[in-house]
């Protein structure tokens, strides 16, 4: 089962995602980058939540693929994997982009991540940001925005549930429901 949570910056995506995850599974793996703020103690989350802080030398596609391959297929629906956030991963990939060869490497990594997400067995919740452009974007910004928008479309179309958050209020847009 694939779930997408999206919204603007500081809209409450993480808090909602962890709360929703706690209704779906008792245990989870929370994947975030090394610079993420610690989670508040009072935040509702699956009772057994293992945190993985990815450093710059780790790859999100490789980490997710490893979790998928090492998981017991028959127990996959009891645990949820939460990626917070796809946007942070993409930013770190684009930061190291200096020339056209690097851009091809980033595109290959994005394709690899698409394959891993589509083949994942079990509960997967992906937190991502809505993409907004500017009037005069740089080449780096164009690459970032177009790659993120493409990933968001892929995830949204393949998701069983899609939530968007505005000022802490979640709307389930996959089934035209508003959920508070």
**pLDDT value for 107:** 80
Each residue's pLDDT, cut to its tens digit, for the chain (180 residues) gives 899 999 988 888 988 998 898 888 878 888 887 666 666 666 666 667 777 766 655 678 888 888 888 776 666 667 888 998 888 888 877 776 666 777 787 788 888 888 888 888 888 999 999 887 777 888 778 878 888 888 898 899 889 999 999 988 988 887 655 555
Say what the pLDDT of residue 142 is: 81
What is the structure's pLDDT at 54? 65
| Crossing angle of helices 86-95 and 100-119, rounded to 10° | 160
Q: What is the pTM of this model?
A: 0.82
> pLDDT at position 3, please?
94
d(Cα 124, Cα 164) in Å, to the nearest integer?
Answer: 16
Coil/strand/helix, residue 43: coil
The pLDDT score that the predictor gives to residue 165 is 92
- Would you state the pLDDT for residue 26? 78
Q: For tokens 């929703």, name the residue.
A: 20
Residue closest to 112 by CA, chosen among 59, 56, 33: 59
| Helix runs in the chain, H state only | 13-24, 60-70, 86-95, 100-119, 139-158
pLDDT of residue 25: 85
Report which of 146, 110, 73, 15 is spatially closest to residue 7, judged by C-alpha positions: 15
């Amino acid at each position: 089962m694939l779930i997408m949570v999206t919204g603007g910056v500081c809209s409450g995506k993480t808090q909602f995602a962890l709360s929703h995850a706690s209704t779906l599974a008792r245990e989870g793996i929370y994947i975030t980058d090394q610079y993420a703020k610690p989670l508040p103690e009072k935040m509702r989350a699956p009772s057994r939540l293992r945190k993985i802080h990815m450093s710059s030398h780790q790859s999100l596609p490789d980490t997710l693929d490893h979790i998928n391959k090492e998981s017991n297929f028959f127990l996959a629906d009891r645990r949820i994997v939460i990626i917070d956030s796809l946007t942070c991963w993409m930013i770190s990939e684009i930061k190291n982009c200096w020339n056209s060869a690097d851009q091809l490497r980033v595109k290959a990594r994005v394709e690899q991540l698409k394959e891993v997400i589509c083949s994942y067995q079990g509960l997967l919740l992906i937190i991502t940001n809505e993409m907004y452009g500017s009037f005069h974007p740089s080449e780096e910004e164009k690459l970032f925005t177009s790659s993120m928008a493409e990933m968001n479309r892929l995830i949204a179309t393949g998701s069983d549930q899609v939530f968007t958050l505005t000022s802490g209020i979640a709307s389930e847009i996959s089934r035209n429901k508003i959920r508070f």
